[in-house]
Amino acid sequence: MELHRCRFVNYTPAAISAVAFSPRTYRRVYLACGRANGDVEIWDPASNWTLLKVNYKQEKRRLTREAPRLFSAGLNALVTEWDLETLRPKQRLDSSGGAVWCMAVNPQQTMLAVGCEDGCVRLFDIADGEFAYLRTFEPTKARILSLAWSKSGQYLVTGSADSCVRKWDVAAGELLNVRRMQLRMTVGKESKMQTTVWAVLVLGDDTIVSGDSLGRVLFWDAKLGTVLHTLDHHKADVLCLAAADDAVVYSSGVDRKVNRYSRLDKKKRNKANASGDADSAGSWVLSASARPHSHDVRALAVCPEVPINAIVSGGIGVQLVVCRHSSFPSERKQYLPFNPVAPLVSMAPASRLLLSRFDHSVRVWKLGQSNLTGNAQLEMRKLGDQLGMKESAISRDGQWVAVSDLEQIKLFRLQPHPEVNGRLAARKITAFPAHLGKSRGALLLAFSPDSTKLVAATPDATVAVADLSAWESGEFRVAELHPPHGQEHAENTTARSLDVSADGQWLAIGDLANRINVFNLDSLKHHATLPGFQSVHTALAFHPDSQQLFVALANNEFYAYDVERRRFTDWSRRIIALLPDSFRHMRDHILGIAFSQAHPETVLFWGSTFISRVHIDQMPACNDQNAALKKRRRPRSEKRQFHEEKEQVAVKGKQEKEPVVVKGKQKKKHHKEWEETLQEPQEESTAIECDVSEPTSQQPSPPRETFSTVLRYQPLLHVGVVDAHQMVAVERPHFHIMQELPASFYAPQYGS
């Protein structure tokens, strides 16, 4: 089977500007990640770090949170509260002080403090669901770049661009003419240049920690305003700080290093003083250091509670990096995939077209027989206006393209270009309703296989089905489907998965509460609701040759549901207990499901770094037998037996005449394309021959493996089957992304 290895999708995620865990008062831990383009991502750490949803852009901003509320602010001077169900702004207030550079919520979750361009700190009341302006502190001469509350909420600390760390009294109430600045602490300078205080935080014992542009981390006495200890283990600006508890502090910045500082207990401090070790005599020392990033680190967040137990960092390098807090930095880091919830790439197998989506444009590519034709067949620009596009889809026959942003859905008809041979032209269908029903925009889009229906999952938890059969006359009939929602998880109604069966009869849609509902598109009625899962589902797809719905979970389990019989298949019930541990415990989870009509007995599950093939017509003999996922090693007793027999043959003089036969298990041979070893990448945009169906005739047929995995193609944006003889794997290699990022910090070393 030919595999089109495509690397033409020039997708580069935006840099990470802020990360924050949800408050400990909330029943479940979530991670919010703010990117430089204004998108806010919500991650679920308990479900193998699954990306749940994305609140789309409102220019550049920083974020904070109060469960289950989410606030953001940015350079447009607006402070916004977001509706996490519809992914739309809920309330907006002007800061009245220009751009907002920092913000934080007090420990009591009643006030929101923001630092503004005009050098003022402003407080907003967020108690009991309110969101109103409260008061403004006295102005300073420089913008407020960092801000942190004390554990008691009685005061807050700010860092500015004028070499100062200030302590502000919040408990002064609403009295007028009261000086709220209690202390001003000045950091050191180099020559006449001002030092920028990029980050501050306050520990439980009222120790203030600051990070500045000189690469220093300073510990201050909050009562006296004096420096307790200075650590200068960074070679450039310290941009972010995070504290796991009162005894551990993390710092990072431009030099890409993540440093961990630990507080020495009283016995160790006395021992250091007695030995005359000046470096260890202080209360804080550098205990660990790592460099997991390739570029500047702009954000840190720590959650020491089990089972999360993680420190998360991010910056210009576009990927979130997760390290285990308790064993930092010894254990291997986890790099989270940058694939968005709505797929970036969709395919029209019948016309051999690929659709790739960007912020304000989409591109359509044509697949050749052995390689790509080279250039995009069609590029449609300025589709998302200033809001950016959230979702796109192409019909199976390649005649329709639908795109959506926060405001409206646009429909295009693809036709051959009238002037350029071999090119495509897009015609916008102006008669198509921009708003399907009462909703504006769509979270997910899908066409029926016969291209007569467009299905849209809207932000208000409804499913709109538009009939395209009479498009030439300008008539579009729209029907609304309402998935049933229970009272237990009525707040998690945001759709995250959508698929239409090959015969166009069934529609499956899943939401964040793990409810998966199946509708009959012929009668436009609800048909069934799948039983609940313990883990978040990450993908679903209908089998092309049966009425089975395959569902993949974040823990890499998968199920097959018989839609007509309203039950899981017998194979699905038995396979869960026999899943290989190496497959179940992979760090990356399943992102998509693909099928081949030429081989209906196989299913392809793919993630950011793997493609797994599963035979659904047989069961594995035992748990964890898959040799493609982990290398098999001959047992030690077998190795010893091999050397003993070899010595015996050598003594008898038959070493060259008789072959050596080793008893025991024979190491299985696997197909070339399903090797674990990472190989050198081929030329991009070429078709690679790989036999995924039958073994070669020169070797005896090995036993067919139920599970087999290839790790050769990564990071993956899309995997699909074109026809009986061709597959497509769309990659976005890290070295391609690195070429589009700015230069990172470079420190010359001796001898290099």
Residues 6+ apart with CB under 8 A from 487: none
Please tell me whether residues 211 and 351 are part of one structural domain: no
| CA-CA-CA-CA dihedral for 339, 340, 342, 343, to nearest 10 | -20
Residues 6+ apart with CB under 8 A from 368: none
271 pLDDT above the threshold of 80? no
CATH of the domain at 316: 2.130.10.10
Q: How confident is the model at residue 661 (pLDDT cuts 50, 70, 90)?
A: very low
Q: Which among 95, 122, 125, 123 is positioned nearest to 110, based on CA atoms?
A: 125
User: Mean pLDDT lowest for which of 152-166, 444-458, 651-665, 697-711?
Assistant: 651-665
Q: Which among 106, 86, 100, 98 is positioned nearest to 146, based on CA atoms?
A: 100
DSSP 281: H
pLDDT mean over 656-670: 40
Please tell me whether residues 284 and 313 are part of one structural domain: yes
Please tell me whether residues 269 and 357 are part of one structural domain: no
Q: Judge contact between 598 and 574, C-beta under 8 A.
A: no
383 pLDDT above the threshold of 50? yes
Domain termination site, one of 309, 335, 361: 335
Please tell me whether residues 406 and 320 are part of one structural domain: no
User: Mean pLDDT lowest for which of 79-83, 201-205, 501-505?
Assistant: 79-83
Burial degree of 550 (CB within 10 A; 0-12, 13-18, 19+): buried
**What tens digit of pLDDT does each residue of 405-425 get?**
878 899 999 988 888 887 888
Q: According to the model, what pLDDT value does residue 227 have?
A: 94
Q: Which among 537, 566, 562 is positioned nearest to 551, based on CA atoms?
A: 537
DSSP 744: P
684 pLDDT above the threshold of 60? no
Please tell me whether residues 44 and 109 are part of one structural domain: yes
Q: How confident is the model at residue 527 (pLDDT cuts 50, 70, 90)?
A: very high
**Residue 418 CB: number of other CB atoms within 10 A?**
8
Spatial separation of the C-alpha atoms in residues 295 and 743, rounded to whole Å: 8
Q: What is the CA radius of gyration of the chain?
A: 29
Q: Judge contact between 659 and 705, C-beta under 8 A.
A: no
Domain termination site, one of 622, 645, 666: 666
Spatial separation of the C-alpha atoms in residues 293 and 519, rounded to whole Å: 45
**What tens digit of pLDDT does each residue of 278-318 get?**
444 458 999 999 999 999 999 999 999 888 999 999 999 99
* 679 domain-assigned: no
Please tell me whether residues 654 and 564 are part of one structural domain: no
Length of the chain: 752
Residues 6+ apart with CB under 8 A from 291: 256, 257, 258
User: Mean pLDDT lowest for which of 155-164, 632-641, 680-689?
Assistant: 680-689
Please tell me whether residues 372 and 287 are part of one structural domain: no
**What tens digit of pLDDT does each residue of 688-715 get?**
333 333 333 344 433 457 788 999 998 9
Please tell me whether residues 357 and 223 are part of one structural domain: no
**β-pairing verdict for 726-731 and 2-6:** parallel
* 742 domain-assigned: no
Q: According to the model, what pLDDT value does residue 284 have?
A: 92
Q: According to the model, what pLDDT value does residue 651 have?
A: 41
Q: Judge contact between 719 and 731, C-beta under 8 A.
A: no
Longest dimension (CA), the chain: 104
642 pLDDT above the threshold of 60? no
**Residue 587 CB: number of other CB atoms within 10 A?**
18
Average pLDDT value for the chain: 82
| CA-CA-CA-CA dihedral for 225, 230, 234, 239, to nearest 10 | -10
pLDDT mean over 108-132: 93
pLDDT mean over 3-28: 88
Q: Which among 746, 680, 751 is positioned nearest to 713, based on CA atoms?
A: 680
**What tens digit of pLDDT does each residue of 210-237 get?**
999 999 999 999 999 999 999 999 999 9
**Token pair in block for residue 603:** 């299913």
Write out the H or E segment, with its range, that includes residue 270: helix 266-275
Please tell me whether residues 68 and 204 are part of one structural domain: yes
* 727 domain-assigned: no
Q: According to the model, what pLDDT value does residue 725 have?
A: 86
Please tell me whether residues 316 and 361 are part of one structural domain: no
| CA-CA-CA-CA dihedral for 151, 154, 158, 163, to nearest 10 | -110
Write out the H or E segment, with its range, that includes residue 637: helix 636-651
Q: How confident is the model at residue 57 (pLDDT cuts 50, 70, 90)?
A: low
pLDDT, greater one: 619 or 38 = 38
* 699 domain-assigned: no
Q: Which among 16, 87, 17 is positioned nearest to 338, based on CA atoms?
A: 16
Spatial separation of the C-alpha atoms in residues 213 and 191, rounded to whole Å: 13
pLDDT, greater one: 201 or 408 = 201
Please tell me whether residues 317 and 401 are part of one structural domain: no
Q: How confident is the model at residue 451 (pLDDT cuts 50, 70, 90)?
A: very high
pLDDT mean over 123-146: 92
Sheet of 686-689, strands arranged across: 686-689, 2-6, 726-731, 716-723
Please tell me whether residues 356 and 330 are part of one structural domain: no
* 75 domain-assigned: yes
Q: According to the model, what pLDDT value does residue 686 have?
A: 35
Q: Judge contact between 612 and 604, C-beta under 8 A.
A: yes
pLDDT, greater one: 668 or 564 = 564
* 435 domain-assigned: yes
Q: Which among 192, 196, 292 is positioned nearest to 238, based on CA atoms?
A: 196
Burial degree of 316 (CB within 10 A; 0-12, 13-18, 19+): buried
DSSP 336: -
Q: How confident is the model at residue 277 (pLDDT cuts 50, 70, 90)?
A: low
Q: According to the model, what pLDDT value does residue 38 have?
A: 84
Q: According to the model, what pLDDT value does residue 74 have?
A: 87
Q: How confident is the model at residue 682 (pLDDT cuts 50, 70, 90)?
A: very low
pLDDT, greater one: 176 or 312 = 312
pLDDT, greater one: 481 or 654 = 481
Share of the chain above pLDDT 70, in %: 79
Spatial separation of the C-alpha atoms in residues 651 and 653, rounded to whole Å: 5
Domain termination site, one of 619, 651, 666: 666
626 pLDDT above the threshold of 60? no
> What proportions of the chain, in percent to the nearest 5, are helix, strand and coil?
10, 40, 50
Q: Judge contact between 346 and 394, C-beta under 8 A.
A: yes
Q: According to the model, what pLDDT value does residue 549 have?
A: 97
Q: Judge contact between 89 and 70, C-beta under 8 A.
A: no
Spatial separation of the C-alpha atoms in residues 668 and 630, rounded to whole Å: 13
Residues 6+ apart with CB under 8 A from 271: none
491 pLDDT above the threshold of 70? no
Spatial separation of the C-alpha atoms in residues 113 and 128, rounded to whole Å: 17
319 pLDDT above the threshold of 90? yes
Q: According to the model, what pLDDT value does residue 26 have?
A: 73
Number of independent structural domains in the chain: 3
**What tens digit of pLDDT does each residue of 553-602 get?**
999 999 999 999 999 999 888 888 888 888 888 889 999 999 988 888 99
Per the structure, the complete domain to which residue 249 belongs is given by 2-335
pLDDT, greater one: 547 or 660 = 547
* 731 domain-assigned: no
SS3 of 404-419: the string is ECCCCEEEEEEEECCC
Handedness of CA 263, 267, 270, 274 (dihedral sign): negative
248 pLDDT above the threshold of 70? yes
* 474 domain-assigned: yes
458 pLDDT above the threshold of 80? yes
**What tens digit of pLDDT does each residue of 178-198 get?**
557 889 999 988 878 899 999
63 pLDDT above the threshold of 80? no
Share of the chain above pLDDT 90, in %: 54
51 pLDDT above the threshold of 80? yes
